[in-house]
Amino acid sequence: MKRLLGAALAATMLTAGAVQSAEVKIGFVTTLTTGGAVIGIDQQNAVNLAIEHMGGKMGDLDINLIFGDDGFKPETGKQVTDKLVKQDDVDFVAGYIWSHVLLASRKSVLDAGKFLISANAGPGPVAGKHCNENFFSASWQNDQTPMAMGEVLNQNGVKSIYIIAPNYAAGKGMVAGVKRTFKGEVLGTDMTAWPTQLDFSAELAKAKASGAEALFIFYPGKAGGAFMKQYQQAGLKETLPLYTVFTVDALSLPKFQAANFTDVLGSQFTQQWDPTLDNDQNARFVADFRAKHGTYPSFYAAQAYDSMFLIKSAVEAVNGDLSDMDGMRAAMKAATYPSVRGEYTYGNNHMPIQNFYLREVVVGDDGNWTTKVVKTVYEGHQDTYAAQCGL
């Protein structure tokens, strides 16, 4: 009896396996609960829109998409990644907003010989010493964006800055990045508890007392909104101009607008993408996203959307033969898919070599607050960790 049952079970699994081969299984890990959920839901919307634009298919294969919630915690992120890899046996794992979650989860995916596509996080180790042939970034390496901001500071003639950033993998990368390119003096650096600390009164008082000419910060998600408000309440706009990365985004702007927080208008930050970038893919993405959800997509959404088209290019290059890892890898490395940021290439570590723009918050044509491109800061910029990568 037991043997019969076993045989029956094996047979069912075989049939299930046969069904599976007609589809591509993609796991997408993001934050769907806690305060970080607002980012995760934006990414989820973008991924669903991408699949709608693909007509639910990559080549001849149906798309089977499974979302995982990391709960904003590295340990939960690793658990859900393990589940996607082992239980669901996905072909690709994409997503990851947070650097510490990506660092905790990467081994689970890569050791199982699957592709890992980051739709946001880009910590140094993943780009350098621990680079992997099966890892691709649809976003950036953490240091790149603040390095571009360091250049902007130089161009604006700023002589000294004060830095406030959260104390975790990405925060450290951001600080390292701006320090690498900024030629003036850094008068002080405060690293705050992450993600718990949302009150920055002590750090702002220190920054002011330091006598620095400008303040550089990195606060993604809701901490960014909190920081911007406290900065304004402290009345530092005239004496201590603010330079930010990943702090003001399309998720916080509608909230700022609802609260009529006009101080945020005109604030500038660097990024590899903007809704106004002129290419067909971006125009379609931004227009349809807005039609569907009423708000501008965030850069998180743009990268999530890109990650799906990157995977699609791989699947189509091998005509749906998902066992052809080399073929899929070569296709992704070529980066021929239509990215919403325009064309870019991949370095040896599979991090994008791409442009970085200075964006500014403006009132859009329809009255909604959005951003526009002021200038191009970097053209074809490669991260500094690529040299440490043995690929």
Provide the binding-site residues for other proteins, judged by CB under 8 A: 33-35, 37-38, 41, 167, 189-193, 196, 198-199, 201-203, 205-206, 208-209, 222, 225-226, 229-230, 232-235, 251-252, 255-256, 258-261
12/262 with CB nearer other proteins: 262
Exposed (0-12), middle (13-18) or buried (19+): which is 379, by Cβ within 10 Å? Answer: exposed
Distance, in Å, from the CA atom of 304 to the CA atom of 213, rounded to the nearest integer, reads 36
Please report how close the Cβ of residue 372 comes to other proteins at its closest, in angstroms. 23
6/235 with CB nearer other proteins: 235
Please report how close the Cβ of residue 33 comes to other proteins at its closest, in angstroms. 8
83/255 with CB nearer other proteins: 255
Short-list 303, 304, 286, CA closest to 295: 286
Please report how close the Cβ of residue 228 comes to other proteins at its closest, in angstroms. 9
204/331 with CB nearer other proteins: 204
Token pair belonging to 237: 């706009």
Short-list 315, 337, 335, CA closest to 324: 315
Please report how close the Cβ of residue 56 comes to other proteins at its closest, in angstroms. 26
Short-list 104, 112, 115, 106, CA closest to 25: 115
Please report how close the Cβ of residue 177 comes to other proteins at its closest, in angstroms. 16
33/155 with CB nearer other proteins: 33
55/367 with CB nearer other proteins: 367
Q: What is the 3-state secondary structure (H, E, C) of 173-230?
A: HHHHHHHHHCCCEEEEEEEECCCCCCCCHHHHHHHHHCCCCEEEEECCCHHHHHHHHH
For residue 386, the 8-state DSSP code is: G
Short-list 268, 41, 245, CA closest to 143: 245
14/202 with CB nearer other proteins: 202
What is the number of alpha carbons within 13 Å of residue 195 lying toward its C-beta?
19
Please report how close the Cβ of residue 40 comes to other proteins at its closest, in angstroms. 8
Please report how close the Cβ of residue 256 comes to other proteins at its closest, in angstroms. 6
